[in-house]
């Protein structure tokens, strides 16, 4: 790779980081108030800045946050490192607002999530939230799911039946692959002890119907399609 290419990639990375931070700060500032007590914390690189801003405001404004509910090991560590109160859904089943990233968001705020293999816990937290807010950078904004995100719909599956599921998904017209781990021999194993299949359906015109079809298949624990859940989406744009 030439020095010119490296310079371009470096500038793009800087723009994306700035975009993520701006979107995260705006979301936290608009949806966390003095009345907010329980907050869902999503997973991924954008959520890092949500936690950063939340910790700043707790310190500067003395916000009385009772609990932050994590969606993954990563989210749990972010909460702990920020000095925020850590808890779980069984203790706080009603969440005031949850913040999370997305791999792609369509014009109706339907999302593909699960690039980080956390979609099951992310959906549990989002489903318990009065408000679910998606925060992302400009690369994730799309008219139709499957346009920008080309890696398929992440599906958390029972390990004992991943081979039959690959065949079933192929019969539905998908191009499914078992997600393999990096720096580990074998497949990705979720925080829940399951495998991930990435099922490429191309552009998804009707994500609601696809979600219903997929979740009805025995062995699929949860899908990365989040339909009708997000009511707000904040995109950090490349022009600031």
**Helices 3-31, 47-61: inter-axial angle, 10-degree rounding:** 40
How far apart CA 41 and CA 121 sit, in angstroms, is: 10
Active-site residue identified among 122, 156, 211, 222:
122
Check if the beta carbon of residue 98 is closer than 8 Å to that of residue 39. Answer: yes
CA 60: distance to chain centroid? 28
Helix or strand holding residue 100 (H, E): strand 95-100
Give the chain's length.
Answer: 240
Q: Is 30 a catalytic residue?
A: no
How far apart CA 221 and CA 112 sit, in angstroms, is: 16
Check if the beta carbon of residue 224 is closer than 8 Å to that of residue 119. Answer: yes
- Tokens 């700035």 sit at which residue? 18
Q: Kindly list the catalytic residues.
A: 122
């Amino acid at each position: 790779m030439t020095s010119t290419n490296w310079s371009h990639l470096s500038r793009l990375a800087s723009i994306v980081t700035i975009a993520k931070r701006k979107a995260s700060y705006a979301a936290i500032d608009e949806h966390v108030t003095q009345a907010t007590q329980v907050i869902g914390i999503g997973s991924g690189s954008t959520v890092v800045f949500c936690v950063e801003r939340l910790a700043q405001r707790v310190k500067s404004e003395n916000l009385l946050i009772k609990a932050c509910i994590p969606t993954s090991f990563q989210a749990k560590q972010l909460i702990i490192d920020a000095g925020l109160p850590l808890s779980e859904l069984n203790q706080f089943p009603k969440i005031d607002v949850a913040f999370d990233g997305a791999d792609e968001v369509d014009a109706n705020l339907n999302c593909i999530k699960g690039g980080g293999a956390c979609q099951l816990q992310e959906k549990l937290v989002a489903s318990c939230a009065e408000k679910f807010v998606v925060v992302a950078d400009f690369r994730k904004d799309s008219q139709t799911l499957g346009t920008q995100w080309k890696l398929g719909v992440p599906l958390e599956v029972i390990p004992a039946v991943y081979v039959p599921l690959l065949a079933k998904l192929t019969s539905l017209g998908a191009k499914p692959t078992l997600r393999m781990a990096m720096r580990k021999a074998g497949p990705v194993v979720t925080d829940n002890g399951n495998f991930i299949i990435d099922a490429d359906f191309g552009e998804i015109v009707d994500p609601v119907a696809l979600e219903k079809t997929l979740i009805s298949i025995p062995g699929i624990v949860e899908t990365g399609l989040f339909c009708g859940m997000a009511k707000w989406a904040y995109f950090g744009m490349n022009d600031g």
